[in-house]
Amino acid sequence: MDIKENILMERYELGRLLGQGTFAKVYFARNLTTGQSVAIKVIDKEKVIHVGLVNQIKREISIMKLVRHPNILQLYEVMATKTKIYFALEYAKGGELFDKVANGKLKEQTARRYFHQLIDAVDFCHSRGVYHRDLKPENLLLDENEDLKVSDFGLSALAESKREDGLLHTACGTPAYVAPEVITRRGYDGDKADVWSCGVILFVLLAGYLPFHDSNLVEMYRKIGKSEFRFPSWLQADVRKLISRILDPNPVNRITIPKIKENAWFKMGKCSKEENADKASGSGTITNVAEDQDSMNPPNMNAFDIIILSPGYNLTTLFEEHVQKKEARFAIWQPASAIRSKLEEIGKCLGMKVSKREAGLLKLDATTKGKKGILSIDAEIFELAPSLHMVEVKKCYGDTLEYQKVLDERLRPALQDVSWNMQGVEQDQRVQPEQHEVLQHP
């Protein structure tokens, strides 16, 4: 039995049923060691294999590992048996944002606060090459502090899913929130499609109803394609203008997230919040500098992150016998700043454009177009311990053979292979041991 007397694997005490779907049930639970409240998602493995949802489950696990952010529902750990898969998730006590909107429109200040958090979370996802593709109030949860948590990454896509034209082509999402270019099935930018969905959500929060709605699905798609909707009389001109720029049916002209963050209506609440925080600290300038420095610090890896790097705990082996590696990992006893400098040096030697992102992420982009577009490589630094870091290098976009050639012929000569042995792990004999590398001292 997977669960005995409501105790899951001697770790969690299961409580009431929070919800259920075709393939999964979600329970309230308590961590027996820490007392922390969590949500346990129980997935029937046989059912998901039968209907071909294996890749979706695997993708959801890998994506939730990538997107650690205050406004994204956190995945604490994944457990599995022969028949079930268990997700231990952050418990969102406040329920769905949808339930609030179902009672009518929100106050402008409240709607703006949720929109701030939504945009911050989506922007973070895009910086990690993740496109949600099913943003809607039902997938936006609230914690005990009424802070927003983006959830349900089952339909999400990674940047590497783009085709040669640099676009995504799988039409998915909820009809009322989906962008017009997704409906046409001609390919779309995941970031622009997510921005459209954010615009629909903002309209719903402020109006209390959907901008595009019709009992006839074809007619609703026609309205979406032409962005045909009416504003309620109580919306002010500044927010109307912002929503109109977000719900531009032409993705080329649609406002981007950086521009949304510069918008006067968007900044109105955020600026006052930041100013109040600065006044409370008594030293606004120093606080801002500290925040900038923290944004460059690499994210910490918890025990769950480290354990699943071992082939013995690799969840992909629950579904298939062999998995082709798309990333390389390097462990090094050096400060994050030294590692960043080394990666920048390697990128310049390769003739690639190196750009820094927040939280230890660097992007290396080729300057010439390859067989499948511009080769783009992500190099992200994670802190394992105060003086020990791990660097994960993976292809973000471009031709796999070109990436492998760069990795084998240019990157590896600057790297020194070592084994990462984990004590007490019985490795699956069907899977080749995972190789890890270490950066040479500069």
Q: Which of the residues 123, 134, 191, 194 is marked catalytic?
A: 134
* 162 annotated as belonging to a binding site for a ligand: no
CB 266 within 8 A of CB 116: yes
The candidate with the shortest Cα–Cα distance to 329, out of 350, 344, 304, 310, is 310
Q: Which DSSP category does 212 fall into?
A: S
CA distance 293 to 305: 24
378 flagged as catalytic: no
* Residues 6+ positions from 319 with CB-CB distance below 8 Å: 49, 54, 57, 58
Is the separation of the CB atoms in 404 and 326 below 8 Å?
no
Instruction: Write the CB contacts of 139 (distance below 8 Å, at least 6 apart in sequence).
Output: 96, 132, 150, 151, 152
**What are the tokens at 345?**
């040096």
Task: List CB contacts of 363: < 8 A, sequence separation 6 or more.
Answer: 354, 355, 357, 376, 377, 378, 379, 396
For 394, residues 6+ apart whose C-beta sits below 8 A from its C-beta are: 326, 327, 328, 377, 378
Q: Which residues contact 359 (CB under 8 A, 6 or more apart)?
A: 295, 296, 297, 298, 299
Torsion angle, alpha carbons of 326, 332, 337, 338, to 10: -110
**Distance (Å, whole) CA 440 – CA 354:** 19
Query: Quick one: which of 108, 313, 283 has its CA closest to 208?
Result: 108
Q: Closest Cα partner for 128 from 396, 404, 403, 324?
A: 396
Q: CA torsion, points 62, 68, 73, 77, in degrees to nearest 10?
A: 60
Q: Alpha-carbon distance 324 to 75, whole Å?
A: 24
Q: Where are the alpha helices (DSSP H) in 159-283?
A: 180-183, 190-207, 217-226, 237-246, 257-262, 264-281
Annotated binding-site positions: 41
- Which residues form the catalytic set? 134
Annotated binding-site positions for ATP: 41
